[in-house]
Structure 1
């Protein structure tokens, strides 16, 4: 099952906001553009269910790739990014059935930070622009479908180093509102779960 969610009006508003920010930054300092990518781990915690036996999900490694812009202001910087991320995890159910679920997102982090020498600290909101979930269950006599819907707004915190045009940072990401997962086994009634989703990212970037 595939579930896609887009927020076209929100995306248009964010583009206008970034355009305004770029105009302000252009008057005060240089604007740099670059690319960023790296690995991420996704931790997902689901509650146990007496009917389906869903008791948790094993975290796995994923990746993210995208573009970034840096607006250097006198005492801080603003760094909007457009990122594509993908990761998988195993969902464990009753009777030894397990399933692989992949979750792909298009995200817009807007990081605000400060730089001291070659060190950087940053934090900011992350706008979820699109969800795409797929699942593949193990051997079972019943079809199992699962959808995961993340909230529109999340956050990231991070620290990093910057050596010339090359940057490296470590980030922690979380949700302001728990994600929702819908599971259907065979012809049974759909059951909904609240998921706590947290991630660590290890990023390498380059400014042109």
Structure 2
């Protein structure tokens, strides 16, 4: 964790230094949707009936969401973009008796470094520091075999890669996020009468998320405001219009 905090401090320091030379900086809000990748569950058939074969259940993707804000410092085609986002992730497993929903929520702090490759398109990459507050799988019990779960690390890091297109104060952002390390395989004890699965192994996996977000610049240092968007074209506050 000390290494994470050190990297975060260095990024913030570098970002603050860049502002001295920056042509423009921005505060904005964003929101969007996501899909999440988690691991297979191997149902131990012998825990249900003698001689019953194991059965593997792969997760199905549900649509989650994210909301947050960002600070953008721009300098001659380059930008640094720290964000603070609240993220909700969802999946489910189609067990024999009923579906079991997997949910997780987290606060994340991505620090992104980008380059404009052709107006109005930019590409970017950077680390994200994730702080999970709630991870649940429906039907999991605390028994002598398992202490509940899923017991995933609460503080993790990941890498982000994405492409962003901007028009006036608005932007659309497609992002791929991958964890920096895999989870540990874990034994779960699931309510058999409700879900048709008993003892089961949540297999190791590397978390991955694909998200699509929409953003709007609320404050800019170029002197324009949101109200300028409703003026005539010659007086429009359009920082990306050429």
Q: TM-score, normalised by structure 2?
A: 0.69
Match of 1:149 among 147, 152, 169: 152
**1:193 Cα deviation (Å)?**
2.8
Gaps of 5+ in 1: 1-6
Who is 1:128 aligned against? 130
Who is 1:24 aligned against? 17
**1:102 Cα deviation (Å)?**
0.8
RMSD of the alignment, in Å? 3.0
Gaps of 5+ in 2: 48-54, 141-145, 192-197, 219-242
Higher relative strand content: 1
Q: Which has the larger radius of gyration?
A: 2
Check the 8 A contact 1:167/1:204 in 2, yes or no: yes
Who is 1:114 aligned against? 115
Who is 1:4 aligned against? none
Partner of 2:20: helix, strand, or coil? Answer: helix
CA offsets per residue over residues 134-191 of structure 1, 9 Å max, x none? 23239xxxx9943151572211111121112111111112122113464431698885
Classify 1:177/1:16 alpha carbon distance in 2 versus 1 (closer, same or farther; 3 Å). Answer: closer
Q: Matches of 1:137 and 1:178 in 2, distance apart?
A: 24
Aligned residues: 196
Check the 8 A contact 2:148/2:189 in 1, yes or no: yes
CA offsets per residue over residues 72-92 of structure 1, 9 Å max, x none? 123411111111100221134
Q: Which moved more, 1:18-27 or 1:72-81?
A: 18-27
Q: Matches of 1:13 and 1:167 in 2, distance apart?
A: 31
Partner of 2:212: helix, strand, or coil? Answer: strand
- Whether 2:203 is the aligned partner of 1:193: answer yes
Partner of 2:87: helix, strand, or coil? Answer: strand
Partner of 1:45: helix, strand, or coil? Answer: coil
Q: Matches of 1:49 and 1:177 in 2, distance apart?
A: 24
Equivalent residues in 2 for 1:32-181, closer than 5 Å: 32-46=26-40, 48-51=42-45, 53-93=55-95, 95-115=96-116, 116-137=118-139, 145-150=148-153, 152-180=156-184
Q: Matches of 1:199 and 1:186 in 2, distance apart?
A: 26
Check the 8 A contact 1:147/1:181 in 2, yes or no: no
CA offsets per residue over residues 88-131 of structure 1, 9 Å max, x none? 211344x5453112111111111111113211111111111234
**1:43 Cα deviation (Å)?**
2.3
